[in-house]
Structure 1
Amino acid sequence: MAESTKEYSKITIRSLLIGALFAGFFAFVTAYLENRRSLYLSATQIAVLPYILLLAMVVLINPLIRAIRFLPRFSSTETLIIFIMGSVSAGISTFGLTSQVGPVIGSMFNRHWNNDQSGWHLNVTPFVNESFFISEPGIQNAAIVHREAKLAVDEARSIYDVALRDQNAEAAVTKATATLDKLNAEGADALALGGAKERLNAAHVVRAEAATEWAELSKEHDLSSAQTIIDTWKPKIESLQAETDSLRNALRQLEQRAFDKVDVFRRGLPDGKVAMPGFFFRPGDSWDSYVQRFNRLRHGRKALSHLEKADAIFNETVTAGMTMTAEQRQQLESLADQAMTALEPINIKTEIEAAKRSVDQRWQENNAELLKTQDELLEKQNARRLAVEREFDALDRDITTLKHRAKKLKGVLKGIESTQASIRQQLTTTGGIVTVITAITAWKSSLSDAENQLEKFRAPLGAIIAKFPGLDASMSRYLVGDIPWGDVLPPFLRWAGLIFLTYLVLMAFNLLIFRQWAHNERLIYPLAELPELLAVTNEENGQRLPDLFTNPLFWVGFAISGGVLGWNLICFLELVPGLAPLDLNNQWREIVQDSVLQPLSVKSKSTVFFTMIGLSFLIPAKISFSLWFFTILYMVQVLILCWLGYGQTENSFPMEWWYTLNFRGAEGAGGMMIFAAVVFYKARKYLFCFFSPSAVSDLEADEQKELRISSFCFIFGSVGLILMLWRGMGANLFWCIFGFIVILIITIGLVRAVTEGGVLGFQAWVSPFHLIRTLWGMDKAWTAPPLFAPLFIYYSVFFLDIKTFIAPAMANCIKIRDDLKMERFRFHIAIFSCIVVAAIVAITTHLLLTYNKGGDNMNGWFYTGFPKGMFEQVGVMVKTSPIDTTKTSWFFGGGAVAMMALLYFRQMFFWLPHPIGMIMLVNPIMNAYWFSILIGWLAKVLVTRYGNKDTYRIVRGLFVGLIVGELMIILAALIGSLVTGNNVPIDLNRN
């Protein structure tokens, strides 16, 4: 065994704590802005907030620490471990996890989606374990029993209908024969006889079809004669229908209870309940209202303790069957007085009402000013339409001023309305306090009659005590709010098991393939190189800033992207009236319309994406060439197919992310299968080194240990995940294994695309369900959708809309660790802690926001479009058993053969394109990336051909500057969006 000779960079405790703190903070901010402002801060593999923090630490915080000399400056290792913790956990609060799993848990029993028309009770509920959702225990079993009864009555009715058709067909032949015989006997003319013969022939055809159908059905079900069925089965069908109706009613009762729970999730808590814990500083809170809430807790609990003592005395008297003594009555009256005295300091309804009048007055004044401003604005706009040209500038300035004034007033009104909502809540609470004091007074007065009517006075005291949580006099309400945790925690804990196993497998897999990719194949990892360029300094020489910041071309690149996007920012914020933003999407529609390139008019575009241009320069030219080349090759295929008459535009070849492939996705999927198989084979000795330690015996001891532990986690984590999908969610074991293998293949392809190609984001429009439909169809007994419906839900949550897929982020962080030689154990502690902190904060934030205003008021895509679409697709699959009718499997096979040819012949012909571009055919977002990649490739080719290593290092600063400039403008756009209330469409999200 080789001994370890490396000296590892120290990961300090302070860096771990700061990293965990920012991971939680970023998770909260991302979740909040996504659902309250529809702002997406993490929609690619470059998470904006961690990069802004990285830049701030390098450019601002470290120089400040150096200047004040109070604390030791952050080392490169510390800076990057903080960045790693924010980066790897950035997607958890959005596309990567929480925005998928949270809405799904609360959507299966949405009464507006799950109804008789949608048929989910027949096509979804019977095949999905209800314990993974807000539901009612036993609802799946009830749905299964009802479905079986429904199928039984439908089958009986179908048999009866076939028997009836057989007898009717036979009667029709008899009738047609009799009609023909009668016409022959009467000597009818030839026309009449011909018509009768045609009718008889048609009756014989129908009779033959009906007889064949009946014979097959009779043989299948061992039935008696058709006439017997007709004579005896009506009561049987009626009995089965009655049983089915009874089972449906029982299912409806369970569904109703589940619907009621989900209603709270979708609409928010009812009046008198609060989602936000009392110790939170809530929207609309002032310092006074926050302190008053704490006082209500303190004084309310004190009053409650007195009443609970009274209740204990009173109950002891009743339990013992004794008459209340004068001493006991006096003690109860004293406790009632003490309770009212304790409540008196928080009986401030009059003050709250006065505050409400003041706030209402402010609202009326500002609203009147807004209406006046809007009238003036309308008047100026009307004048502008009728003005002459020389008056335009003055009117435009006035209009802009009025617009800004109106926007500012709307913001003021919004803030006042938030305060009004808080005051209304306080009024409700203080009104409750008055009610409770009045009730205590009445209860105390009634004690004089307690000797003779003890039972009569137990309920009023209990009712008074029950009101205290609504007065904020509840520790549970103050600490965790009024969310029905009993409804939401059980399904979240079940999903937590899947989350843990999934992330464990992904992290272990990344660790196992890292040595093969980074050391044996020497992949670039451009998204790991980028933060290193921005953060790493020569600490031994006392270097203050990374070399990048002293490179003039860095600032040129910064100025280019910052200038272009800054112009757009000014336009979107309307800081200067009359300016139009630059269109960086460059749609082809108008250019190719009515030309030979017409088929490309729908989706094709040449998007200028500065960050993608910068990343493309960091990767080898052969990689970037492959990425744009295969996109162009796809366009050529579209043109050829359309010219040959197989379609009119790209839309003639439908493809979506649920289970439908077209030729593009099939080629990419076939290629990905082969590519992943080769990757898996090359890394086999690392993947299974737990069983064969000698395979890694040439490595250092600590790396051997890490690899063997990772191999154990990968193998047994995979087994655990498959078992949980099978025994926990209820999917078929074979399809769980098949689905896991396909998911692993997709993971290999996507991680490779990031680590080798620097691809920013993706949606993998290939899945186990695409392959099932394309290769075999879902219409067979062994490919029936009910077998893998739970797997479909798991896949949709973790691997469908995966713009912030965590696996590539893990890979990049492992590369940074390797480059900076960070100590292994604390690195894993950092990764584990940031994921746990981000997941807890993000899930808690989603729940608080959801139960505060309701899921219907959360992000429209995540809380409506995605979960509704997912369950609808499960229902459609089960009901229709879709198959591929376009022979897409040939393209799948062609993609596999092409990938094998590329992998083999590239060993001899190096000019052949790299296969990574073919893999990315499954990623539709490449339509928005390819042109920027082409620009980066052209620059890289020119620099490598006409320059040397020093030239590349200097010019590289230009392209990194493009990335940093865009990030800074995105930060400015975020601030502008928050200040103005209008979302500025400048971010890294592309579609």
Structure 2
Amino acid sequence: MNLIFNTEAHRLALLNRDNNSSLNPDNAHLTPKSERNRIGLRVVVLSVLLAPATAWWTVDQPVDVIFSLMVPPVVMTMLVAILSMGIRRVAPRYAFTERELITLYAMHTVLSAICAEWLMVIQPYIYSFAMFKDGDTRIDRFITPYAHPWFFMPPEMASKLEDFRNGGRNFTYFLTKLPLWLPFIASWTVLVSLVGGAMLCINSLMRDQWNNREKLAFPIIQVPMEIVRIGGGTSKIIRSPYFRTSFLMMLCIDLLNGAHFFYPNLPYINLRFIGDLQQYFPSPPLNAIGWTPIGIFPYMAVIGFFMPTDLLFSCLFFYFFRKFTQIFTYAIGYTESAGTFGGGGLVPGPPYFSEQSWGAFIGLFFAAAMVARPYLREVWRNIRKNERPENQVPPRWAFFGLLFCLVGLCVIGFIIGIPLWMMMFSVFLFLIFSVALTRLRAQLGAPSHEMAFMGPNQVLVDLAGTGTLSTAGISRMVTTLLFFNRIHRTHPMPHQLEAMKMGETAKINQRSLFVLIALAMVLGSVLGHSLYIYRGYRFAAPRSWGESTGTVSSLLERYRPTNPVALLFIVLGFAMVLGLDFIRFRFPGFPLHPAGYALAMNFGLDYFWFGLLIVWLVKLFIERYYGLKGHSKLHEIACGIIFAEFLCEGGFSLYSMMTRTAAYSISINGRLGWNQ
């Protein structure tokens, strides 16, 4: 069992290989240390110049940014790396270094994360309450009387938005209308930047603990690191026959499938959704297994080759455990909620998967804090003494930055009418979740971490009920903090930490990187809002999904007392995590990891569990019979597959953006719908 599941040696070997890579091994000793750590101005300028392209791609093609390794920043870095390879052949001194390519990727992945789900949720609500009421009396009763004009357009502005509603205008016309939107862009940018700034400060304070002391695996950064090594001239992976073979095979399959999309008579090799296990269980209680898609999605599945094997097994085990729980819950009489992954959003019901998920994430946060106690005491001493480590963000700066962001968020909540205790509860609980999710991704490397409709709202209602919450407080909290309570597929905090880890491998000055990540967040918000608005003037404004209105009206129209059963399941999830941690501490070879439980209890694995199962079986075989050498070949194969998939997806996306028509997609969501 230890031989199969203990992959610490493999993981540390890969990590050490990353940490030992140098930017220019032949010349590094000739350069002063301060110069080696400096980020050049040209890459900052290039990153800013390319930012609108990445932001537009993110805004216009959301199917490419609904998983952990987002396509736009990866492909953008890949293109610059290819350019660097060409420059190196004719003028080596002008080629981009690994440090520069990491900086570009760091800025663009954070920028893309901000532009993606957060703004996708926020932007339509700025105008929808005013423009798309369409006789919905709930908006007049529960939303517009309490919506603050800093963040949402009042109904009287609807007459100014007819051109935005109908579309058909060009970019020049959009620029003339931009002043109308600037106050809302500024307000939301401040709010989003304060939330992201708090996360950035936490990452800065905890970076050394997670990166160097606990030595988390960071599976997601393996592919971007190979890209920057190729561009920096230090990687030989493109010479590997394993890489080339997997790259060419995957490239041919995707190009064939892309051609089939336009010419259906051509063959099609289905690697997306192949089937659904539920169809084989038509009768209750087995049909309570719910939607159980059989899909491969190679670019997501092969990330499992980078994941520690015990964590990979844990994800699969707890996914099937959740499915069994659904069947069991139905069998004992809870027929309405047994087949749902989260009890139906804010309507908790057996088996309380969302509540279990919340307990698990709080447990992961608590366990991480306990492990880090000596480090936290050391950080506190550094804050008190104002120690300034070389090339690092001083802990005192990060600490006071965190306090500033937290106070700023509470002040905004107070000004717009959210009760202080509700604002503090939502912010602190969201940051607890964010820290746990960030550490989970650094440790596990999940291809996706979709926590569907899981947010502080749910815990607040379970804990306090609706009787103690005012109508204004509920309305303002739900509408303003909706992005706290969505799906979290492109949560920015993991991208920040991964950028710091990549910077650390290249010995980048962390102070400079901190500033550039902060700049990328602000730039992402401003560009994202502006481009969403431009799309409205160009192609007609989309409606919001009505989630805020539905949630607010549901909470206010039906009284809900404190839910002790839901709270009990939060405690159960918390205890499950601590129990698994205790068992793993006492029995080091124990294969189940609490991170797998936290991820599987929600919707994080449903799309690609089958692909991970195949990868897990292959990985077991290779590790059993070929060891570390075989593991390195799997690394090359995985990189080849992901490189090919992302390059093809980049081409398909470019075609869609230029022609305004759909094309094939490798994504879990197709451009023509769920299963294109």
- Determine if the alignment matches structure 1 residue 22 to structure 2 residue 50: yes
**Higher Cα radius of gyration:** 1
Q: 1:743 aligns with which of 393, 417, 430?
A: 430
- What TM-score do the two structures reach when normalised by structure 1? 0.60
Q: Which residue of 1 aligns with 2:328?
A: 640
Given that 1:612 and 1:929 are in contact with CA atoms closer than 8 Å, whether structure 2 keeps it comes out as yes
**In 1, distance between residues paired with 2:224 and 2:259?**
29
**In 2, distance between residues paired with 1:538 and 1:648?**
54
Deviation, 1:716, is 2.6
Q: Which residue of 2 aligns with 1:432?
A: none
Q: Which residue of 1 aligns with 2:123?
A: 102
Q: 1:752 aligns with which of 430, 439, 463?
A: 439
Q: Deviations over 1:253-277 (max 9, x none)?
A: xx4x2432454543459xxxx6632
Deviation, 1:630, is 1.0
Q: Deviations over 1:413-447 (max 9, x none)?
A: xxxxxxxxxxxxxxxxxxxxxxxxxxxxxxxxxxx
Q: Which residue of 1 aligns with 2:275?
A: 587
Q: Which residue of 2 aligns with 1:963?
A: 642
Give runs of aligned pairs for residues 13-162 of structure 1, distance below 5 A: 13-31=41-59, 33-34=60-61, 40-58=63-81, 60-69=82-91, 72-97=94-119, 99-110=120-131, 112-113=133-134, 115=135, 117-135=136-154
Given that 2:304 and 2:612 are in contact with CA atoms closer than 8 Å, whether structure 1 keeps it comes out as yes
Given that 1:77 and 1:822 are in contact with CA atoms closer than 8 Å, whether structure 2 keeps it comes out as yes
Partner amino acid, structure 2, of 1:874: V
Deviation, 1:731, is 0.8
- Determine if the alignment matches structure 1 residue 851 to structure 2 residue 545: no
Cα distance, 1:849–1:606 mapped onto 2, change above 3 Å: closer
Deviation, 1:853, is 4.9
Deviation, 1:635, is 0.9
- What TM-score do the two structures reach when normalised by structure 2? 0.85
Cα distance, 1:261–1:923 mapped onto 2, change above 3 Å: farther
**In 2, distance between residues paired with 1:56 and 1:481?**
30
Give runs of aligned pairs for residues 710-789 of structure 1, distance below 5 A: 710-725=398-413, 727-764=414-451, 765-778=453-466, 780=467, 782-784=468-470, 786-789=472-475
- Determine if the alignment matches structure 1 residue 10 to structure 2 residue 38: yes
Partner amino acid, structure 1, of 2:44: L
**In 2, distance between residues paired with 1:695 and 1:952?**
45
Q: Which residue of 2 aligns with 1:945?
A: 624
Deviation, 1:28, is 2.6
**In 1, distance between residues paired with 2:261 and 2:564?**
45
**In 1, distance between residues paired with 2:277 and 2:630?**
39
Q: Which residue of 1 aligns with 2:558?
A: 880
Give runs of aligned pairs for residues 765-844 of structure 1, distance below 5 A: 765-778=453-466, 780=467, 782-784=468-470, 786-844=472-530
**In 2, distance between residues paired with 1:70 and 1:267?**
51
SS at match of 2:133: coil
Give runs of aligned pairs for residues 22-421 of structure 1, distance below 5 A: 22-31=50-59, 33-34=60-61, 40-58=63-81, 60-69=82-91, 72-97=94-119, 99-110=120-131, 112-113=133-134, 115=135, 117-135=136-154, 255=155, 257-263=156-162, 265-267=164-166, 276-277=171-172
**In 1, distance between residues paired with 2:330 and 2:161?**
48
Give runs of aligned pairs for residues 892-903 of structure 1, distance below 5 A: 892-903=570-581
Cα distance, 1:988–1:588 mapped onto 2, change above 3 Å: closer
Q: Which residue of 1 aligns with 2:262?
A: 573
Partner amino acid, structure 2, of 1:482: T
**In 2, distance between residues paired with 1:902 and 1:16?**
44
Deviation, 1:46, is 1.7
Cα distance, 1:659–1:755 mapped onto 2, change above 3 Å: farther
**In 2, distance between residues paired with 1:874 and 1:538?**
50
Partner amino acid, structure 1, of 2:554: V
- Determine if the alignment matches structure 1 residue 513 to structure 2 residue 206: yes
Partner amino acid, structure 1, of 2:253: V
Q: 1:906 aligns with which of 581, 584, 588?
A: 584
Q: Which residue of 1 aligns with 2:240?
A: 551
Q: Deviations over 1:566-625 (max 9, x none)?
A: 332221121x62534526323335652336773255311222021222211112111111
Deviation, 1:832, is 3.0
Unaligned 5+ residue runs, structure 2?
1-31
Q: Deviations over 1:467-521 (max 9, x none)?
A: xxxxxxxxxxxxx743162x42223322222122111101111112221111121
**In 1, distance between residues paired with 2:298 and 2:438?**
22
Given that 1:686 and 1:707 are in contact with CA atoms closer than 8 Å, whether structure 2 keeps it comes out as no
* Greater displacement, 83-92 / 815-824: 83-92
Unaligned 5+ residue runs, structure 1?
136-254, 279-479
Q: Which residue of 1 aligns with 2:381?
A: 692
Cα distance, 1:936–1:711 mapped onto 2, change above 3 Å: farther
Given that 1:267 and 1:854 are in contact with CA atoms closer than 8 Å, whether structure 2 keeps it comes out as yes
**In 1, distance between residues paired with 2:184 and 2:634?**
52
**In 2, distance between residues paired with 1:874 and 1:644?**
32
Given that 2:318 and 2:600 are in contact with CA atoms closer than 8 Å, whether structure 1 keeps it comes out as yes
Q: Which residue of 2 aligns with 1:191?
A: none
Partner amino acid, structure 1, of 2:72: L
**In 1, distance between residues paired with 2:100 and 2:108?**
13
**In 1, distance between residues paired with 2:417 and 2:231?**
55
Given that 1:671 and 1:919 are in contact with CA atoms closer than 8 Å, whether structure 2 keeps it comes out as yes
Cα distance, 1:728–1:763 mapped onto 2, change above 3 Å: farther
Given that 2:142 and 2:553 are in contact with CA atoms closer than 8 Å, whether structure 1 keeps it comes out as yes
Question: More relative contact order in 1 or in 2 (CA 8 Å, sep 6+)?
Answer: 2
Cα distance, 1:649–1:961 mapped onto 2, change above 3 Å: farther
Partner amino acid, structure 2, of 1:625: F
- Determine if the alignment matches structure 1 residue 919 to structure 2 residue 605: no
- Determine if the alignment matches structure 1 residue 706 to structure 2 residue 399: no
Q: Which residue of 1 aligns with 2:11?
A: none
Partner amino acid, structure 2, of 1:127: Y
Deviation, 1:955, is 2.7
**In 1, distance between residues paired with 2:401 and 2:658?**
47
Task: Give the share of equivalent positions with the same residue, in percent.
Answer: 18
Q: 2:305 aligns with which of 617, 641, 648?
A: 617
SS at match of 1:744: helix
Deviation, 1:55, is 2.5
Aligned length, in residue pairs: 636
Partner amino acid, structure 1, of 2:446: V
Q: Which residue of 1 aligns with 2:6?
A: none
Give runs of aligned pairs for residues 589-608 of structure 1, distance below 5 A: 589=277, 591-594=279-282, 598-600=286-288, 602-608=290-296
**In 2, distance between residues paired with 1:73 and 1:18?**
13
Higher helix share: 1
Given that 1:685 and 1:695 are in contact with CA atoms closer than 8 Å, whether structure 2 keeps it comes out as no
SS at match of 1:907: helix
**In 1, distance between residues paired with 2:417 and 2:116?**
27
Deviation, 1:689, is 7.1
**In 2, distance between residues paired with 1:788 and 1:702?**
46
RMSD: 3.1
**In 2, distance between residues paired with 1:621 and 1:554?**
22
Given that 2:363 and 2:574 are in contact with CA atoms closer than 8 Å, whether structure 1 keeps it comes out as yes
Q: Deviations over 1:711-753 (max 9, x none)?
A: 111123112212212x222111111111112101210232123
**In 2, distance between residues paired with 1:689 and 1:729?**
38
Partner amino acid, structure 2, of 1:493: A
Deviation, 1:921, is 3.5
**In 1, distance between residues paired with 2:578 and 2:634?**
36
Given that 2:326 and 2:339 are in contact with CA atoms closer than 8 Å, whether structure 1 keeps it comes out as no
Partner amino acid, structure 2, of 1:864: S
Cα distance, 1:723–1:659 mapped onto 2, change above 3 Å: farther
SS at match of 2:450: coil
- Determine if the alignment matches structure 1 residue 499 to structure 2 residue 192: yes
Cα distance, 1:888–1:839 mapped onto 2, change above 3 Å: closer
